[in-house]
Every structure is written in structure tokens, then in C-alpha cells.
A and B are shown apart, each in its own frame.
Chain A
Amino acid sequence: MKRLLWADVAARRRMIAGLAVGTAVFVIALASIEAIGGLSDVGRQAFGEAPPALSALAGSRSGFDVFTPLGLLAFAFNHPFFLALSLAIGVAIGTAAIAGDVESGRAQLWYTRPVPRHLILRGRLVFWLLAQICVVLAGVAGGVLASLLSDSLGTEGAGVAIRAGVQFLPLALFIGALSFAVSAFAPTRARALGRTLGIAFLAYLANFVSLLWSTAEPLRWITPFGYYDPLGVVQGIRWGDAIVLSIAAGALVIIAHAGLARRDLA
């Protein structure tokens, strides 16, 4: 299985490095703009209190003000750009792992060995987990570095960045596991990708609407984004939400195993 892991690393090392650097640079950039230009002050002076759409975009249910240095740093971990960069790795690996292997014909070399299908999938899951942690860690490292270099953020900011990474990881695991589950039932990688992105976008939209419109508030319980409050990490990690997302991700991995066990691989 070690060779399988290395094969995946060789095939995706540039992508992992690119996304990790991109994620780190994005968080550093946002934190630096706050540190140098006082972005949160500019926002407060312009709007007073954060407009509902911005609070919804920040994914905040905790009521913590996004127009504060720590609020802005936490917001970086729910910015659409951050989400796109850091979730891309799980989506790319998950959709390539089963549907992509079948489509490319690689499954005909790998799954015709005396290794049960679930063990090969397990190898791919380990690789994805390591790659995902790597990208999230890069974002956290960017946040910590920017905070330590900034007077307004300081060690408190570094703590927020670490907690934001810990809080974000279960969401990333959920989206990655979703990609594997969808991939296990999709005939081609393109379809797996389309379906995963469609579900993820609808889930994000549902959470956004639930934050904006009180009538739609119950929607938060059915979307993974409803269990992720990046501004809440300023006060502390919400372990309950993290556990719910982790269990849901585990369930999706089980679904992926079941789909792989039953499907044709050519």
C-alpha cells in the first residue's frame, strides 16, 4: 500500500503544493491587509455594523463581529476563495479515485490484483486525508505567520487561526468524503465532479439563505456548512459541530465502500 500512496503523491504533488501555497498566501494576504491597512476599521467606518449579507458570507451564527481584526482573520477561513482552494483537493482526489480510475482505465491495472477493492480504496482515502490536512495546515500556517507578524492580531490571532483550521477540517473531510461517495456511483469523472460540485454549491447556498432569512433557518441542520461557524472559533472550537460533520463524513466513506464493492470497474 505504501507504493500506492507514493504513486498518488507522484501524480498529485504539484496540485497539492499549488493548493497549499495558494491557501496559505490567501490567508496571509487577508491578514496582512488587515494588519497594514486596518481593513476591519475601514469596514466599520463605512457600514457601522456588518451588513447581514456579509455576516452570512462569513458564515457567522455566533454574532461575533466580522469588523474586528480577529473576526476578519476567522472570516478568511470561510471566504469563498479559501473554500474553493482548500476543498478542491478533496473533490479532485475523491472524484478521480473511483470514477476517474474507471474512466482512464487505471482500474483495469489496479483492481485486477489479489487485493480486495476496499483495501485499494483505503489507500486512496489515506492519501486524500494526508493531502487535505496538508492544505488546511498550510492555511493555518499562513494565518499563524501573519498573526505573529501583526500587532493587531498577535498570539491571539495565531490561536484563532489554529482553531479555525481545526474547526474547518471536519467540513473539508465531509466534502472530500462526499466526492468519494458520488464517485463510487458515477460512470465518469466529469459526472462525479459535476454532481459533487452541484451538491456542495446547493449546501453552501442553503446555509447562506438560512443565515439571511430567519424562516429558512432550519435549513442549517441539513447542510454541512450549517455545522461550521468560522467566527465562532474566536471564542472556541465547537466540538459538537465537528463531531457531527466527522460522523457524517464517516458515513459517506462507508457509502463509497458499498458503491465500489457493487459497481463495474470497466
Chain B
Amino acid sequence: METAWNRLDSITAVAHEPDPIVCRGLTRHYGSTIGIDDLDLVVRRGTVTGFLGPNGAGKTTVLRLLVGLLRPTRGEAWISGIPVADPEARRRIGFMPADPAFVGELTGAANLDLLADLSGAEPAERSWAIELLDFDPRDLGRPVKEYSSGMVQKLALIQAVQHRPDVVLLDEPANRLDPLAHHGFENLVRSIAADGRTVLLSSHVLSEVESTCDEVAMVRSGRLLMVSSVRELSAAALRRVTIVYRDRPAELPGGLRDPSVDGLVVTGRVEAHQPAVLREILRDPAVDDLLVEAAPLEETFVHLYREERGA
């Protein structure tokens, strides 16, 4: 009976476990400049969320507010239910800044030891991260001032995850990573999420977000535009249409945006969920072949930003 109650308690505890990242009305102004304005955001456990936006959109400001480097002008944020102003919240966090500055005179290993020591946790996942990121362990014995920028970037990623944090916050993590390390990085964040932990990464590289994230939060000029799953976003994305004709077409199909003609091949874009446009194309007897594919997230992103600007 006691065991059953204990089990019920643990199930209830998991069910009531607070969301890993919660922002309510989070606002930060730099004098008259808006860093981030009235941000409401909840990041779900076990997900990789991409914080997307152009330079100066406020992505880094949000991450810095979450790790307590900045203080909010208004609003609040919590990490696993703990207010970010409480140092205890930072026990749950692994943070990688955009421009990490290690102690150049110390070796990579000594820097990692120092940061693990400050985190108050054993670096249980250091070896795992080193292996995934294809970081040569022998380089850990060299002073960091001798590292290339790519190696510094890998070291910064390792220090962010080595102590097995519940919440990993990464600011422009894939900058300066070579393709092999980039692949390792994707595996790293996917593994962390699969383990029930949470990753929030900022980026302006859409292909990176598309391949790595489950959710996307888009910001512009300090305001949150939308939060969506990558799958939903892809479903809502423009369709790239390639039409191959048998003969030169008399006229281009209606509803086709940004058409371009190259001999008998016409390419263009169609809004999502517009089967009538595709049916009309197929009705034309001159059509020999039709290829429809989702446009890369990048095009959707630019499309959304243009719409927002227009609004």
C-alpha cells in the first residue's frame, strides 16, 4: 500500500512539475531602446525550441534575462518554477553565451573544471559531449588562448552541458562550427531533449532551427511574433511548385507567385492549403509533370516578417 502511495506521489510530482521556462510580461528596455517587450513564453519540457529573429530582435536579451545577467524592467521569468533572480534557478541551467571568454592562460580542461566547480555539479556528461562534438581530448591539455574560434565554440558547448543541466540555453550555438561538429551538435541537443530535458537556442540561421528544433518562437524588434511547432510552420509554409510542360505554355497558371520560366520548366510558389490552384495546373493538358515541395523555413520566415512589416 505504501509503495502504491509512493508511486502515486511520484506520478503526481511529475504531472505538477513546473514548465522549464516561463516568461510573463518580460520586458527589458535599454534607456529608450527596447530590448524585449512584454514577452509571454512557455517552453515545454523535453523540447528543443528555436528563438528566431534577425540581429537586434531581442533574442540574446531574453537569454541574458533568463540566466540573471540582466534584470528585467518589468515582468518575471522562472526556470523550473524558480524565479530567475534566485541563484538556485541557475543550478538547473547550462548557458552558452554567443561570445564565450574563457581564461586563455588555462587549459581547456582547467576551464571546464573551474566552470563545473562553479556549477556545483560533477561534469558527468563531459566525455559524452566531447565525443559528440568531435573535440580532440588531447586539445583539452592546451591553453585556450591557442584554440581556434571553432574549438572555443565547441568548448563553450561542452561547458554548457557537462554538468547535465535540466535547461540548456544556447546563444547562437552553431556559429563557427564545421559541418562535422554541426552534425554532432544536432545530435547533442536532440539527445538532451529525448532525455526529457529542455533546450532553448537562439539563432538567425533558419536551416539550423529547421533541422534541430521542435518549436520556433519568432521575435522582431523586441516583440514575440509567433510560437509554433516546426511541423506546423512547415505545413503552413509556401509550396515550391515546378511545372514541366510538353509545349511552351500559352499563359502561366493563375495563383502562381513569383513565376520564372526556363524553357519548358516553370517554377513558382503557391500558398499552402490551396488545392484549387494545383488542380487548375493539372487540368492543363500541356502539363507533363508537376513537383510540389514545402519551401524552406527561410522563405516562410521572410514571408512572415514581410507580412508583419506590412501590417
Contact = CB atoms under 8 A, between A and B. Distances in A.
Interface of A: 3-4, 6-7, 10-11, 104-116, 120, 264-266
Contact of A264 (B70, B87, B117, B159): B70
B118 A10 contact: no
Interface stretch (B99-107, B201-209, B291-299): B99-107
Contacts, number: 83
Contacts of A107: 69
15 contacts: A4-B117, A7-B103, A10-B105, A10-B110, A11-B106, A105-B100, A106-B101, A107-B69, A108-B95, A109-B100, A111-B68, A111-B69, A112-B97, A114-B91, A114-B120
Interface of B: 64, 67-71, 87-91, 93, 95, 97, 99-106, 110-111, 113-115, 117-120, 159
Contacts of A116: 87
Nearest to B119: A113
Contacts of B103: 7, 10-11, 106
Given A3-B117, A106-B101, A115-B87, 18 more contacts: A3-B113, A7-B103, A7-B106, A7-B110, A10-B110, A11-B106, A105-B99, A108-B100, A108-B101, A109-B159, A112-B93, A113-B90, A113-B118, A113-B119, A114-B120, A120-B118, A264-B71, A265-B69
B69 A112 contact: yes
A104 B89 CA distance: 24
Nearest to B97: A108
A108 B118 CA distance: 13
A266 B105 contact: no
A6 B114 CA distance: 9
Contacts of A120: 118
Contact of B90 (A7, A104, A106, A112): A112
Contacts of B101: 104-106, 108-109
A105 B101 CA distance: 5
A115 B120 contact: yes
Contacts of B90: 112-114
A115 B88 CA distance: 8
B68 A112 contact: yes
B95 to A, nearest CB: 5
A29 B71 CA distance: 52
Contacts of A108: 64, 67, 69, 95, 97, 99-101
Contacts of A105: 97, 99-101
Nearest to A107: B69
Nearest to A106: B101
A110 B100 CA distance: 10
Contacts of B102: 106, 109
Nearest to B118: A113
A10 B144 CA distance: 12
